């Protein structure tokens, strides 16, 4: 990467409303952007500001990048007003993604909550794209209500795919909901899996990351086999400003994907 600060001019090609608070922006950069699944980019909106997001599209496609964005505050609320044809800047990718070589030959148990499914969608694309490197891919996905579920079409496709075993829950069901009601961790109770031969991946809001990790530890997963995608307020994105400090780490440079073994001795990792 010659200049990690230089944003690449990128056109918003399509905007997909996923839920009342979440939209996916299909972006076409002026030049291909290569990334590893789990890495993040900084998106700059002229006159508005900048924020970090993890691509939700396949790392094998470099001419197009999807970012799925929750309306969380100042920048993201204005991003939500962008329409097809708008221009944004994308710089990066930054940080360390999922170490797929460490997943080789293993079962993969993925716990996702809310917009946390965004980086996991990219991970799933990467996992099942290759030859049968991974034994079994189990996705447990939870949202607050059926209306807040993202990627509904994609979830239907995964449900039909042999390579993916999908379990779904909502905290609060509505009429017509045919899957589990309860927090996402209860889904794991229905999964028969050998922790010694699998890795666990957790991505979602901090409370879900905490209980998801505890669930995997309770099942017997080793600290180094639990992969967490961490979010911290960021600024430079390249390990210079210190905004994203987490114990001895900078999330932007040393993460955002960490093993629980790396983080477990840090105070307040879920704050």
Q: Are residues 257 and 223 in contact, defined by beta-carbon separation less than 8 angstroms?
A: no
What is the rounded CA–CA span in Å between residue 79 and residue 39?
Answer: 20
Q: Which CB sits closer to ligand FAD, 12 or 234?
A: 234
Of the candidates 229, 222, 241, 220, the residue with the CA atom closest to the CA atom of residue 270: 229
**Shortest Cβ distance from residue 186 to ligand FES (Å)?**
35
Q: Using CB distances below 5 to 8 A depending on partner kind, what does residue 240 bind out of ligand FES, ligand FAD, none?
A: ligand FES
Q: Which CB sits closer to ligand FES, 38 or 112?
A: 38
Of the candidates 114, 107, 42, the residue with the CA atom closest to the CA atom of residue 79: 42
Q: Which helix (H) or strand (E) holds 263?
A: helix 260-263
Tell me which of 62, 64, 145, 235 binds ligand FES, using CB under 6 A.
Answer: 235
Q: Give the residue at shortest CB distance from ligand FAD.
A: 73
CA atoms within 13 A on the CB side of 55: 34
Which listed range, 23-31, 129-137, 191-199, 234-242, lies at the site for ligand FES (CB under 6 A)?
234-242
Q: Which of residues 237-266 bind ligand FES (CB under 6 A)?
A: 237, 239-244, 250, 252
Both tokens assigned to 43: 């998106």
Which residues contact ligand FAD by CB under 6 A?
A: 40, 51-54, 68-70, 72-76, 115, 118, 231-234, 256
Q: Count of H helices and E strands in the chain?
A: 7, 15
**Shortest Cβ distance from residue 51 to ligand FES (Å)?**
12
Residue ranges that bind ligand FES, judged by CB under 6 A: 234-237, 239-244, 250, 252
């Amino acid at each position: 990467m010659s200049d990690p600060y230089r944003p690449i001019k990128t056109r918003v090609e399509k905007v997909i409303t996923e839920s009342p608070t979440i939209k996916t922006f299909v972006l076409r950069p002026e030049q291909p952007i290569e990334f590893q699944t789990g890495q993040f980019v900084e998106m700059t909106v002229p006159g508005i500001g900048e924020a970090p997001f993890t691509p939700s599209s396949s790392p094998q496609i470099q001419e197009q990048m999807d970012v799925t964005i929750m309306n969380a505050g100042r920048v993201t609320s204005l991003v939500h007003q962008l329409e097809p044809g708008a221009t944004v800047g994308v710089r990066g990718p930054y940080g360390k993604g999922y170490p797929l070589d460490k997943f080789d030959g293993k079962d993969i148990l993925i716990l996702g909550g809310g917009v946390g499914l965004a980086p996991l969608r990219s991970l799933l694309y990467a996992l099942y794209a290759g030859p049968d490197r991974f034994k079994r891919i189990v996705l447990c996905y939870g949202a607050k209500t059926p209306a807040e579920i993202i990627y509904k079409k994609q979830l239907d496709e995964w449900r039909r795919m042999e390579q993916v075993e999908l379990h779904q829950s909502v905290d609060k069901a509505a009429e017509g909901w045919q899957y589990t009601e309860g927090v996402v961790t209860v889904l794991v109770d229905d999964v028969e899996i050998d922790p010694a031969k699998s890795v666990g991946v957790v991505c979602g809001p901090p409370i879900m990351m905490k209980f998801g990790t505890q669930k995997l530890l309770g099942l017997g997963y080793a600290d180094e086999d639990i992969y967490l995608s961490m979010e911290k307020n960021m600024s430079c994105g390249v390990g210079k400003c210190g905004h994203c400090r987490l114990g001895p780490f900078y999330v932007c440079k040393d993460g955002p994907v960490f093993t629980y073994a790396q983080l477990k001795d840090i105070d307040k990792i879920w704050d």
